[in-house]
């Protein structure tokens, strides 16, 4: 998920020396080279959107604001709140727009919070997000995973609880190996990321895993036990980029099950699943055509020998029949 970075690991293995009390060290280096040479775009800082601010945060912002009136505090300290919208919020909450924000923080903050939630506001800007990019994701997958099929997708930014976020999907249909866990009978490998950071634990409690298991992968050519991950030599990458990722706990190992997030992940997985289904169908048709071709090639000599016996042909004519039949087999719809 960071294809613009090169990682260098230095591994030191210590072992006992020949003389007692001495150590010998073996130093080895592991390098992961970068796949792209340009840096990701820088993000812009935005003010918090009022629909994504909780009551406690709202009270704290009112206490620490430098604005002298409640109306100016709402319009200057929050994103997408104009003077007109700030006045509407104050009227809906039954508060004086010229009141001091510090006094509101102690008394009528709950009424102000409810009024904010009931007021329609513009969605927050999305230039604060840093997507990886479809080409960059594919470069990272190609660098680390040997596969026959790659596809990536970056969804359009959307909002949950006033916080902008976007979902990115990457898939690689790998080549099965004898010493690898990617085969036709093993569950697919799901790689979960939040703001480019891998999520290693609590996969069962994560909305990403829930979205993956909720997709009907049988419709896209993969086997899937009921209520489980699909099976096959497939690597799925799901990345969520947001200004505030809703983790389930302080350990930040799983993303909370927000309906908006699950829906975006599901839509992205379904789009990539359709592309995978097209590839698998084309691969299956090619394999079926090759199987039929092998059968025909196997029976061409027998067919020529039968024609020789029926038509009383000589050896030269029999060879010509074999050549003509092979030519017909090689001919395509593009040949005239």
Q: Which domain holds residue 294?
A: 290-330
Return the higher-pLDDT residue of 115 and 305: 115
What average pLDDT does range 39-56 have in this prediction? 84
Total domain count, the chain? 3
**3-class SS string, 5-74:** CCEEEEEEEEEECCCCCCEEEEEEEEEECCCCCCCCCCCCCCCCCHHHCCHHHHHHHHHHCCCCCHHHHH
Calculate the average pLDDT of the chain.
Answer: 85
Residues 274 and 233 in one domain: yes
Residues 201 and 300 in one domain: no
**Maximum C-alpha span of the chain:** 111
Residue with tokens 């025909």: 296
Residues 138 and 276 in one domain: yes
Decide if 90 is inside a domain.
yes
Cα–Cα distance measured from residue 129 to residue 195, given in angstroms and rounded to the nearest whole number: 9
Decide if 2 is inside a domain.
no
| Res. 288: pLDDT tops 80 | no
Confidence at residue 19, expressed as pLDDT on a 0 to 100 scale = 56
For 89-117, write each residue's pLDDT tens digit.
999 999 998 989 888 867 788 899 999 98
Label residue 318 by pLDDT band (50, 70, 90). Answer: confident
For 178-218, write each residue's pLDDT tens digit.
556 777 788 999 999 999 999 999 998 999 999 999 999 99
Decide if 5 is inside a domain.
no
Label residue 18 by pLDDT band (50, 70, 90). Answer: low
Label residue 177 by pLDDT band (50, 70, 90). Answer: low
Decide if 42 is inside a domain.
no
Confidence at residue 336, expressed as pLDDT on a 0 to 100 scale = 46
Q: Among 259, 280, 301, where does a domain finish? A: 280
Residues 57 and 158 in one domain: no
Residues 144 and 77 in one domain: no
Decide if 35 is inside a domain.
no
Share of the chain above pLDDT 70, in %: 92
Residues 173 and 244 in one domain: yes
Decide if 150 is inside a domain.
yes
What CATH number should be reported for the domain holding residue 200? Answer: 3.30.230.10
């Amino acid at each position: 998920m960071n294809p613009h970075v090169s990682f260098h690991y230095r591994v030191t293995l210590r072992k006992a020396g020949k003389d007692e009390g001495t150590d010998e060290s073996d130093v080895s280096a592991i390098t992961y080279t970068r796949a792209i040479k340009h840096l990701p775009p820088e993000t812009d800082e935005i003010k918090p959107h009022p629909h994504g601010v909780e009551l406690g945060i709202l009270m704290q912002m009112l206490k620490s604001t430098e604005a002298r009136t409640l109306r100016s505090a709402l319009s200057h300290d929050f994103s997408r709140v104009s003077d007109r919208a700030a006045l509407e919020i104050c009227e809906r909450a039954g508060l004086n727009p010229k009141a001091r924000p510090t006094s509101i923080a102690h008394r009528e903050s709950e009424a102000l919070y409810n009024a904010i939630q009931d007021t329609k506001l513009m969605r927050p800007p999305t230039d604060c997000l840093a997507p990886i990019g479809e080409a960059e994701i594919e470069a990272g997958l190609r660098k680390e995973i040997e596969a026959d099929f790659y596809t990536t997708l970056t969804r359009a930014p959307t909002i949950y609880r006033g916080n902008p976020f976007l979902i990115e999907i990457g898939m690689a249909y790998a080549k099965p190996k004898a010493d690898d866990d990617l085969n036709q009978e093993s569950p697919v490998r799901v790689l979960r990321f939040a703001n480019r950071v891998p999520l290693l634990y609590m996969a069962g409690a994560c909305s990403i895993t829930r979205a993956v298991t909720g997709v009907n992968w049988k419709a896209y050519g993969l086997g899937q036990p009921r209520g489980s991950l699909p099976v096959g030599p497939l690597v799925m990458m799901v990345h969520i980029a947001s200004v505030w990722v809703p983790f389930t706990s302080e350990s930040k190992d799983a993303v909370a099950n927000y309906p908006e997030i699950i829906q975006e992940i599901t839509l992205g997985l379904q789009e990539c699943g359709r592309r995978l289904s097209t590839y698998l169908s084309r691969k299956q048709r090619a394999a079926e055509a090759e199987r039929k071709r092998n059968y025909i090639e196997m029976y061409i000599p027998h067919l020529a020998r039968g024609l020789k016996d029926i038509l009383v042909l000589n050896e030269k004519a029999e060879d010509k029949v074999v050549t003509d039949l092979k030519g017909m087999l090689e001919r395509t719809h593009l040949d005239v």
